[in-house]
Structure 1
Amino acid sequence: MTTAKSITRSAPSSVQATTIASSLLTMQTQGCGFIDLTGEAAKFVADVHARDGALTLFIRHTSASLTIQENADPSVLVDLSTVLARLAPDDEDAGWTHDTEGPDDMPAHIKTMLTGTSLHVPVLNGALALGTWQAIYLIEHRTRPHRREVVLQFVGASR
């Protein structure tokens, strides 16, 4: 077992959750790829005058997903797309039995299961508590464009 030589933790802070604010974010995707939602999430937090609490993002679909990933080097998103394609190929010869909407149907469901449908982001002092290189992304797993809905919900204290 190894131990860290220096661990620090700030003093706990608490607020009474007096606000629950929700909004539905709707977008048209252009097919497979990553869509940065960080700006929309930050705008929602500002619009509801959030101070401290938590933002939940939930996508209302089973063939698209949400993730927090690096926002500095675009090659990260390319490599992530490559690995998801390797794990669940859209190949008609892959042997998927569920192909109601085409050969990318079942692979899209698998990719969503691997990446997830919801995120939880702390809000501190009115801002998303994301790291310097983090961004919130919707991942479209279908090859055709789709209309996607993401529920945004802030729970916490407002200004």
Structure 2
Amino acid sequence: MPGRFTTRTLNISTGSAETVTDLTHACEQFLQEAAGGRDGLLNVFVPHATAGIAVIETGAGSDDDLLAALHTLLPADDRWQHRHGSPGHGRDHVLPAFVPPHATLPVISGRLELGTWQSVCLVDTNKDNPNRQVRLSFLG
């Protein structure tokens, strides 16, 4: 049987603070419907110039550590050429070079194959845009 492609868009509200939002449960729910027990690939994509997708441990401080590291690498100050929105917003446009806007993950027997502590997360440092879309696509 040839592979099938299924896609869905999630609407995520990230609020007015920098966030790491765990999408793992939403990915698993999507795969329950889309994968039908098949092997394949899940692609997670955020179509925004100021957000990214990370596979990282959450709940044990790693998500806060990621935001702290991004503050060190990409300070929210006036050094950025890209200047509009909140002060330091130019750094948000550099974020996808460090946290890419996509991840492609293996699906085995319809289940997302992550390591024990891994989660799929939306990383959003842009306080000016609290409404995000994330596209989930399964090919299998």
TM-score w.r.t. the length of structure 2 is: 0.92
Specify the SS of the correspondent of 1:51: coil
Specify the SS of the correspondent of 2:38: strand
Spell out the pairing of 1:62-101 with structure 2 (5 A cutoff).
62-73=49-60, 75-92=61-78, 95-101=79-85
127 and 63 in structure 1: CA distance in 2 versus 1, 3 angstrom threshold = same
Counterpart-to-counterpart distance in 1, 2:37 and 2:49: 29
2:110 is aligned to: 126
CA contact (8 A) 2:85 2:128 kept: no
Query: Unaligned regions of 5+ residues in structure 1, if any?
Result: 1-15
Specify the SS of the correspondent of 2:5: strand
Counterpart-to-counterpart distance in 2, 1:17 and 1:113: 35
1:152 is aligned to: 136
Counterpart-to-counterpart distance in 1, 2:32 and 2:97: 31
1:28 is aligned to: 13
In the TM superposition, what is the alpha-carbon distance from 1:50 to its structure 2 partner? 4.3
In the TM superposition, what is the alpha-carbon distance from 1:18 to its structure 2 partner? 2.2
Counterpart-to-counterpart distance in 2, 1:139 and 1:153: 19
Query: Unaligned regions of 5+ residues in structure 2, if any?
Result: none
Question: CA-atom RMSD, angstroms?
Answer: 1.4
Is 39-48 or 139-148 further displaced after alignment? 139-148
Task: Name the amino acid aligned to 2:111.
Answer: A
Task: Name the amino acid aligned to 1:123.
Answer: V
Is 34-43 or 64-73 further displaced after alignment? 64-73
19 and 50 in structure 1: CA distance in 2 versus 1, 3 angstrom threshold = farther
2:3 is aligned to: 18
Sequence identity (%): 28
Larger Rg: 1
Counterpart-to-counterpart distance in 2, 1:104 and 1:146: 17
